A and B are shown apart, each in its own frame.
Chain A
Amino acid sequence: MTFLKNIIGLIFRGLGLALKYIFLTISSPVWLPFWLIAYLVEHIAFVRNALIATDLYLPFKNMERTPLRFALTVFAIFIAFLIYGALTAFDNAMNAGVDLAADDRLVTVNKINFTQTLPIAYAQKVTAIEGVDSLVHMNWFGGYYKDPREQVITFAVDQTKLLEVYGDDMLLDETHHKNWLRNQQGLLVGELVAKKYGWKVGDRIPLNSNIFSKMDGASVWDFVIEGVYSGKFKQADTNGVYFHYKYFNEALAFGSNQIGWLGIKTTDPSINEKVIKAIDDMFVNSPFETETVPEKAFNKSFIARMGDIGLIVTSSVSAAFFIILVIVGFSMALAIRERTNEIGVMKTLGFTSRRIFKMVLMESMMLACLGGTVGLAASSFVIKQVTSSPQFPLAGLMLNGEIIMQAIILMVFLGLITGIVPAINALRLNIITALSRR
């Protein structure tokens, strides 16, 4: 009986040990860097002296003295900044259209709602208005590729004018452009779409429309890919697909000679107001009243119509930060309380209260910055992984300087908030009460 018990005990102990080392091996990418830093600080005189000179040595030693608590706290902060980085980058990418909007571009839509159409004749009329450099009319096609869930953002456009208005954003091979203009069934495809479906120039592909059918009743439209364009900026949206309005209009079973909206380029951003007024005044008494707005405003309003993505992002990030604030704050307070006696000794040795105050604050700051930096790096890694997938439709998903700056401010803020109460307690701590506490 005891023999069996011993055997079982041995097995369990062996299993425990094996688990421990397996865990240590798996988690080595996490703890190894910290271990390395701790080792460097202790054994490389230069690093240590630099820390001593900046009075960060003792805060650092205090921070990593209980490795488990240190690891858990850093991990909690890490999570908060991981969420922050990923969600803010996502929010930014969603709003990239607003940032990238050109100042000299306007959008004219039906005043009732942008899903209502305008007569094709409007394009000619607006071209004549002074200050309009060029314009292109566009229709939402409601395209999808084979499966209705595989939506392709497809527009029927005045092919001759597309690049005159949007050429500043699109990079396109000159011969491809010419070929596309020549072929009425030609399709101009954005880089991201081409990547997603593996399309190449010369491919024949069918697109369906969930709105329009052809006169013969078919909802399949045949196209030949004549060009693939890429964005001039990293965040540029290359999810769009363009084809000839003529092909569209001539095949339509209903609703022909209607356009969705006008994209307009003005001769100078400073005259935007004047051009907007001229356009809208022109149609004020017609059955199709228009509303013209700068591209930036249009994109912003379009995103707002999609729902409160920004709100969801901010509330999630705030919730994450609140949790981490509470956890780190209380564990900092606990750590300092446990060190009451030591702080008393330090003060006795001649460390001034101000210096100890600073040390405690530095410790919480280091924790916040360490966890924050690693979290931000991790979110950048996650973003890289996600965006490298060809299925991913969002081009501008990345950590930009603004997000990183904000993150640094957040780290300092987190460090301050979590450290300030323990630091004040340490500042106020009376040597005699501290030393008689044991």
Chain B
Amino acid sequence: MSGKLLYDLKSVSKTFVKGKEKITIFDKLDMSIAEGDFLAIMGPSGSGKTTLLNMLGGVDQPTGGEVFFNNSRVDTLSEGQLARWRANNIGFIFQFYNLMPMLNAARNVELPLLLTKLSSSQRKKSVETALKLVGLSDRATHMTSEMSGGQQQRVAIARAIVSDPKLLLCDEPTGDLDRKTADEILSMLQLLNRKFGKTIVMVTHDAAAAAYAKRTLHLDKGVFVEKDLAA
């Protein structure tokens, strides 16, 4: 591990009530992520990896413990504060891209910038830079519905990095893609991590995808387990 601490989860718990049952997903989980890390989280379905990612992204709140981001608490923020915090600090990449079908590629990338006070020329410049980075400058005005899965995911990556967040959260980013395209996307993430210093947390089923990360954590029933020995 190198660099300063970006994320620190201190004995975080997550339970929810389903009918009369009380289900525990995490019980007093500790975890820390350094700046510049590229972390893959693996685990079977129901292991809690998506919930963990949601918590890191500030879209889900822990029911116990403390969460620090850049040394300030985020689990106590209100919904509105969290939204602004997400806009400033986190970039999201989803399995099914989640692009807006009524907008073309450039407009999709521009979307997070609408949350900032940037002028239209500044926005235009940022979008161009982001699209260039993912190699889609020539597709800026295409509708995303006319694009292949790999291209759509690249638009999604451009959208995630356009406002220059510290942390990228990827939920099965290659789950819907073929091997070759998946490798392209993963290389791109690797590049973002190495060259641009983005901290990346990626949830995946795929060991080949996890191999692109700097380190891999295995989650099972809400606990990190050592799997390196078996592998």
- Judged by CB atoms under 8 Å, the answer to whether A and B touch is yes
Q: Which residues of A contact B (CB under 8 A)?
A: 45, 48-49, 52, 57-58, 61-62, 64-65, 341-342, 345-354, 431-432, 435, 438
Contact A352 B92 (CB under 8 A): no
Contact B112 A349 (CB under 8 A): yes
A354 to B107, CA, bound (A): 22
Contact B101 A352 (CB under 8 A): no
Q: Sorted from nearest, which 8 A-B pairs have the closest CB atoms?
A: A350-B87, A65-B102, A350-B86, A345-B98, A352-B83, A431-B59, A61-B102, A49-B120
Q: CB-CB < 8 A to A432: which residues of B? A: 54, 59-60
Contact B120 A349 (CB under 8 A): no
Q: Which residues of B contact A (CB under 8 A)?
A: 54, 57, 59-60, 79-80, 83-88, 90, 92, 94, 96, 98, 100-103, 107, 111-112, 114-115, 120, 159
Q: CB-CB < 8 A to B59: which residues of A? A: 347-348, 431-432
Which A residue's beta carbon lies closest to that of B113?
Answer: A52
Q: CB-CB < 8 A to B86: which residues of A? A: 348-350
A28 to B57, CA, bound (A): 48
Query: A61 and B57 in contact (CB under 8 A), knowing A341-B98, A349-B115, A352-B84?
Result: no
Contact B114 A353 (CB under 8 A): no
* Nearest-Cβ distance from residue A49 to partner chain B, whole angstroms: 5
Q: CB-CB < 8 A to B96: which residues of A? A: 438
Which B residue's beta carbon lies closest to that of A63?
Answer: B102
Jot down 15 A-B pairs with beta carbons below 8 A, ordered by A: A58-B114, A342-B98, A345-B98, A346-B111, A347-B59, A348-B86, A349-B87, A349-B111, A349-B115, A349-B159, A350-B88, A350-B115, A353-B83, A432-B60, A438-B96
A431 to B51, CA, bound (A): 12
Q: CB-CB < 8 A to B98: which residues of A? A: 341-342, 345, 435
* Nearest-Cβ distance from residue B27 to partner chain A, whole angstroms: 20
Which A residue's beta carbon lies closest to that of B98?
Answer: A345
Contact A348 B115 (CB under 8 A): no
Query: A348 and B80 in contact (CB under 8 A), knowing A49-B120, A61-B103?
Result: no
Contact A354 B54 (CB under 8 A): no
Query: Which residue among A57, A342, A349 has the maximum number of chain B CB atoms within 10 Å of its CB?
Result: A349
Contact A348 B57 (CB under 8 A): yes
A168 to B42, CA, bound (A): 91
A387 to B72, CA, bound (A): 72
Contact A45 B94 (CB under 8 A): no
* Nearest-Cβ distance from residue B180 to partner chain A, whole angstroms: 25
Which B residue's beta carbon lies closest to that of A46?
Answer: B120
Contact B100 A353 (CB under 8 A): no
* Nearest-Cβ distance from residue B143 to partner chain A, whole angstroms: 11
* Nearest-Cβ distance from residue B59 to partner chain A, whole angstroms: 4
Q: CB-CB < 8 A to A438: which residues of B? A: 96
Q: CB-CB < 8 A to A353: which residues of B? A: 79-80, 83
A435 to B50, CA, bound (A): 11
Q: CB-CB < 8 A to B115: which residues of A? A: 349-351
* Nearest-Cβ distance from residue A351 to partner chain B, whole angstroms: 7
* Nearest-Cβ distance from residue B128 to partner chain A, whole angstroms: 14
A438 to B83, CA, bound (A): 22
Q: CB-CB < 8 A to A48: which residues of B? A: 120
A350 to B101, CA, bound (A): 19
A87 to B58, CA, bound (A): 55
Contact A350 B120 (CB under 8 A): no
Q: CB-CB < 8 A to A354: which residues of B? A: 80
6 further interface pairs, Cβ-Cβ under 8 Å (given A61-B107, A341-B98, A350-B83): A345-B98, A347-B83, A348-B86, A349-B86, A350-B88, A353-B83
